Each structure stands twice: as structure tokens, then as C-alpha cells.
Amino acid sequence: MIKSSVSPRFSDLFHFVFLFFLCNMMYAQIRNAPLTKIDAERAEQNYQKYCTLCHGADREGGAADYAPSLKSKSLMSTMPLNFLASSIGFGRPNTAMAPYLADSGGPMSMKDIFTLAIWLKYKAGHETIELSMEPIEGDLKTGAKLFAQKCSECHGSKAEGITAPALANPAFLAFATDAYIKYAIENGREETEMKAFKTQLSQEQINDLTAYIRSLTSGWSPEPKELSPYPEAKDYVSNPTGKNPAFILKQERYVPMEQVAKALKDKNKLILLDTRTSSEWHNAHIPGAIPIPYYISEDKVAEGLPNDDTWIIAYCSCPHAASDKVINMLRKKGYKNTAVIDEGFFNWINAGYPIIGGQPK
């Protein structure tokens, strides 16, 4: 199990956000680009450890969860450094993009996050395009109709995200300016399925669409959590005196979530592994699950896990990428009764199965 070193959290949210962005932006601005060799090496190591699962080894995107390309000129030239850092630090709630900031239970310090953001901007190699901070006015009804016609197929009818990012995501809307949204609509995103609409829509229509997307915000703020205590090895097995469940696997690997839910209800003996980031485990997890994030090393993945007939069931959001990686490591070490929840954590929630998690402080 990976344990994060969690620094003291601020009781005042304003100070938390202010210090995160202002102080770290000051740190970032006094640096010379490109990064020092040591910082660049550290950033690349962190990228390979935490980001390649979804964004790809060469930042090409699409490795899992339709993660965007971090090489796209349209994206990387318009995304301010603090916006990129906030996406890494605070994640995107209700999506597979988790918070990586230590204050949220993640594995990275503020310095590591900003160094990674600077490295990503540098590696993309695109000159920064300065966008206006002014709000864009438009007709919301017209924008809603345009969204349904042009955007909903990929972004979802409620902008919840299907094969494209969730535009109704409150964390995204908390940091994306109107001009940033408009630029993406006009110019698309290279190396992704997002096409440019500047030749298909008038400026008035683009403004209407931008205003509609902006209207989806719901007042999210990056509030620190009261982090849950990590379970001890003696507590890894749920219902240790129970019977072994009789799982029927698909492709000798995937177990339907209803079978897992029934096993928990029947108090069967099993171990649940949450293979998402530790911050996601802190936020919400299946009761009894222990955090063994996908970025754990092979020499530590089995620490505390009995290698007997106890079923070990892993899950993630993808729904398979992170959990597959952990199960592969365990099988390599000789663990036989292992499987992955087929539908993933979000579908578990949508089905109404139980979850527990941390509370705002």
C-alpha cells in the first residue's frame, strides 16, 4: 500500500487556493525555461509513473479514458500554466482524472506538480497564445440547441463526457476562461477528434455556444478533505471468517460488479483493491477496499496480501487500465484467485452499490 505524506491543510479555503496558485506561480515565473536538468528528469519520471497510463508514453493521449493529447498545439498553447497545474493537482471531479496534490491525498507535492506542468508546456514546444480574460456574452437557448446538434455525441447530452472531456465538469469550469473555451470551439484540438468549427459556425453562434458551456458551472471549489486513515494489513481481508465467493469470470479475468456486490452482501471472504490514485480512494471507495494505486512498484504491490485461496478483486475508473496493471503484477508473482470488476467504479456508483469516503474539513 502506498502512503502519501500529507502536509498540513489550510482551514481557510481562500488561503489554500491563493497560496497554491500565487506562491507557486511566483516559483514558476522565477525559473528559466527550459527546466534545469534535475527538474526536467524529475518531471519526466513523474510523468512516466503517474500519467502514461491514460495520456500515453509520448503524451499522445488516448491510452485510456479518452485522455487528451498533451502535444496538441491548440490545447497546450492556450492552457495557462496555473490551469494545467490545477488540472493535475485538483483533478476533474466525477471523471477518471484524479487529484495528485498531497493535500487531496495524492502522491505529489505542489513543487512537483508545477515542475511537471512546466515540463509538459516545454515538451509541447508551442508558443503561448495569450487569451482575453473578458467574459463572452451569448444566447443560452441558442447555445443549448447548438450543443445538442454539434457537441452532445462526444461530450454527452448533459456535457458529462462520453468519448470527449466532460465540459460540465465543475473543476474545468472553475479554471477555464470564456476565451479558452471559445478558442477550442473555433480551432479544435489537433491530434484529437475535436474538429474546428470556425468555418461551420458564425462568431455569434460560437459566442452562444461558449456562453452555454460557461452556464454549466456549479460553483465548485477545491476544498481540502479530511483524509481517511489507511487500513492496516490485518484488515485487508473483508469477512475473513466467511466462505469463498464463487465468481464466474469473463475472459478469465473480469467479474461482473453484481457478483462482487452479492459477495459483500453475503459476507464472503475477499480482498478489494482500489487501484486508482490514493486521492480517489480518500474521496470515495468501495467499503473494505485498500488503496494500491496503479503506480505502485512491482516489489511493493504484494505487501500485506496473503497468497492463498482468498479472492483479490481490483477495480478502477477506466474501467480496466489501472486495475489490469495491478492484477498483472500480482499474477506475475503467482497470485491465482485474482480478477477485475468489469464495469469499473463509476458504474458501481450508478448502480447504487455502497461506497464510503472522506468528508470536507
Amino acid 282: pLDDT: 86
> Between 50 and 65, whose confidence is greater?
50
Separation CA 218–CA 221 (nearest Å):
9
Instruction: Give the tens place of pLDDT for each residue, 287-339.
Output: 999 999 999 999 999 999 999 999 999 999 888 999 999 999 999 999 999 99
Question: What residues form DSSP beta bridges with 270?
Answer: 238, 311
Looking at the fold, whether 303 and 202 belong to one and the same domain comes out as no
55: pLDDT strictly greater than 60: yes
For residues 176-184, average pLDDT:
92
Q: Domain for residue 223, yes or no?
A: no
Q: Supply the CATH number for residue 189's domain.
A: 1.10.760.10
Domain identity same for 246 and 199: no
SS3 of residue 255 by DSSP: strand
For residue 8, is the peptide bond before it cis, meaning its omega torsion is within 30 degrees of 0? no
- Domain with 29, as residue range(s), is 13-124
Q: Which band of pLDDT confidence, cut at 50, 70 and 90, is reported for residue 218?
A: low
Indicate whether 20 and 79 sit together in one domain. Answer: yes
Q: How confident is the model at residue 223 (pLDDT cuts 50, 70, 90)?
A: low
Residue 5 forms part of a structural domain: no
Comparing 358 with 126, the larger pLDDT belongs to: 126
DSSP states along 13-52: HHHHHHIIIIIHHHHHHTSPSSPPHHHHHHHHHHHHHHTH
42 within some domain: yes
* Residue finishing a domain among 150, 184, 214: 214
Q: Is the CB of residue 100 less than 8 Å from the CB of residue 279?
A: yes
User: How far apart are the C-alpha atoms of 69 and 89, rounded to whole Å?
Assistant: 18
Highest averaged pLDDT of the listed ranges 25-29, 64-68, 266-270, 283-287: 266-270
Contact 90, 171 (CB under 8 A): yes
Q: Are residues 120 and 174 in the same domain?
A: no
Residues 210 and 305 in one domain: no
Examine residue 17 and state whether it is found in any structural domain, yes or no: yes
* Better pLDDT: 271 or 105: 271
Residues 6+ apart with CB under 8 A from 111: 24, 27
Confidence of residue 67 (pLDDT cuts 50, 70, 90): confident
Q: Please choose, from the candidates 314, 302, 359, the residue with its C-alpha nearest in 3D space to the C-alpha of residue 340.
A: 314
Q: Indicate whether 237 and 333 sit together in one domain.
A: yes
267 vs 270: CA distance, rounded Å: 9
Higher pLDDT, 1 or 306: 306
User: Would you list the DSSP string of 131-197?
Assistant: ---S-----HHHHHHHHHHHTHHHH-TTS--SSS--TT-HHHHHH--HHHHHHHHHH--TTSS----
Contacts for 5 with CB less than 8 Å, ≥ 6 apart:
102
Q: For the residues 86-90, what does the mean pLDDT come to? A: 90
Total domains, the chain:
3
Has residue 9 got a pLDDT over 50?
A: no
Q: Does the pLDDT at position 7 exceed 80?
A: no
pLDDT at residue 74 in the model: 92
Question: Are 210 and 233 found together in one domain?
Answer: no
Same-domain status, 109 and 144: no
Residue 146 sits in the same domain as residue 181: yes
Q: Determine the distance from the C-alpha atom of residue 193 to the mean position of all C-alpha atoms in its chain, rounded to a whole number.
A: 20
pTM: 0.72
* 114 and 164 assigned to the same domain: no
pLDDT tens, position by position, 324-336: 999 999 999 999 9
For the chain, the average pLDDT equals: 86
Q: How far apart are CA 271 and CA 69, in angstroms?
A: 35
The answer to whether residue 132 is domain-embedded is: no
Mind listing the pLDDT tens digit for each residue in 16-47? 444 444 444 444 443 335 689 999 999 999 99
Q: How does pLDDT run across 140-158, given as a tens digit for each residue?
A: 999 999 999 999 999 889 8
Say whether both 197 and 313 belong to one domain: no
Among 352, 261, 250, which Cα is nearest to 272's? 261
Q: What is the mean pLDDT of residues 119-123?
A: 95
Q: Does some domain include residue 46?
A: yes
* Residues 238-263 pLDDT 10s: 999 999 999 999 999 999 999 999 99
Phi, psi of 315 (to 5 degrees): -145, 160
Question: Which of 32-41, 61-70, 77-86, 187-196 is the least confident region?
Answer: 32-41
Q: Per-residue pLDDT averaged across 172-199, rounded?
A: 88
Domain boundary (91, 124, 157) is at: 124
pLDDT on residue 296: 95
pLDDT score, position 94: 66
- Whether residues 259 and 339 share a domain: the answer is yes
Whether 6 maps to a domain, the answer reads: no
Q: What is the pLDDT of residue 11?
A: 35
CATH number, domain with residue 241: 3.40.250.10
Residue that is last in its domain, among 65, 92, 124: 124
Q: What is the pLDDT of residue 66?
A: 81
Q: Is residue 150 part of a domain?
A: yes
